[in-house]
Structure 1
Amino acid sequence: MLLTNPCRQIGRIGVQSLRRSSSSAATDGLIYPESISSQHHDLPSFVEYASRIQMDPKSTVYVGTHYEYTARSSLERLGMSLKRIGGRSDYGIDLLGTWSLPSVPRPLKVLVQCKALGGKGGSGGPSQIRELEGAFVGAPQGWRDPGVLGLLVSTKSATKAVREALGRSRWPMGCVLCRADGKIMQFLWNRRAAQEGLEGISVELKYSGRGDLSEREVILTWRGEVISEPISL
């Protein structure tokens, strides 16, 4: 069954930020695969590298890599800690990490597939959900145990077929609409994801301007407080 959280609109004032502290103890035992590139590690370093080698900004590699780093930064604003991996035999996994939430005593482990889709329409079809299900099977050691959440992050909103496939899945998963500029406009998840730790988390819309629809962005809250980037100890 698909869990839907109606978006509640809020302004800039009156909502406190809930920032969870992060520590190495929360991720002890997790071994991350090596990054597919030693030339860059975040969006600024990738843009500098791409400029230096004169990479075509319209190429598939540029668009895909740029979006993966953009999605990582956007998800980390919601409290996640992620690393970009990718490469051969990665089962389509682009980002790996953990998510410290106030609703669970220990961080959830997270695996993310990023899709920078062009053209009109929604985020592909049910095949995208089946591909994400396959990522659970092929996930690195440490992300195969209970307490793992899979996310499909796309530049397109989830279609009805995608939402239905998400609701039917036995894996804890969610779909995120993250624009190319990094603004998150949609975040939904299934019942299994709620059972793993998202129960009680609310999806709301925040406006940074005076009701301007172009300035809105999704935020997550827990008991009225905004879930934001964790504080490193």
Structure 2
Amino acid sequence: MQLASVLPILYRLLQPRFSNCLWSGDDNSRAIALTFDDGPHPRYTPELLAVLDRYQIRASFFWLGACVNRSPEIAKAICDRGHWIGLHGYDHQSFPLLSPIQLRDTLEKTQAAIYTACNLPPEQVRDVRPPNGLFTPKILKYLLQWNYRPVMWSVVPVDWTRPGISTVTQRVSQQVKNGSIIVLHDGAYGGQDVAATSEILIPQLLQKGYQFVTIDTFWQPVKIKNS
């Protein structure tokens, strides 16, 4: 079974078990969130940004601190347009492989990079998406203790394997529903197609009556459990 087929099943299994994570928004609302991981990238992210500008869409970006340090001007351009910014670790190391000290360090280094590039203070950048979507209950406990907010997903078309733009857009169209959190990538893996994919997806979803919002909108009705 392909990963693209497994992920929707995992979502249904994990969402109720790990309710401290944000998996989706309100299923009674047509609001959806378009999110991008692994950037900013010096080539792919500006191409994507042009598409978002054209449709006046605000998205959410989960950044790698190393990439922010390499492309601070692109990071600032994204922030200046009002897109939402979250953390994806400093260099995409899987969180379960890190000690608590290393985990906190990778998040704080990324916050520091974002502050330098965008002047966003750390307390405003506390949404965290674990690289590869991998976490443990202990990791979630640490994130909550440190006042971070874990963000997951409900629609993952596995674009980083580059199955083709039409395949990615078809997977999203088949899975999207009210409150969906869609994950695409604007980094080294998958970013080659992200602008072209978004150019097709955004008008399709708008035509279906969906409204694009940023991740912070989905947190508003959510009560975090500190246990």
Q: Same fold (TM over 0.5)?
A: no
Higher relative contact order (CA 8 A, sep 6+): 2
Pair member with larger Rg: 1
**Band of TM-score, shorter chain:** 0.3 to 0.5
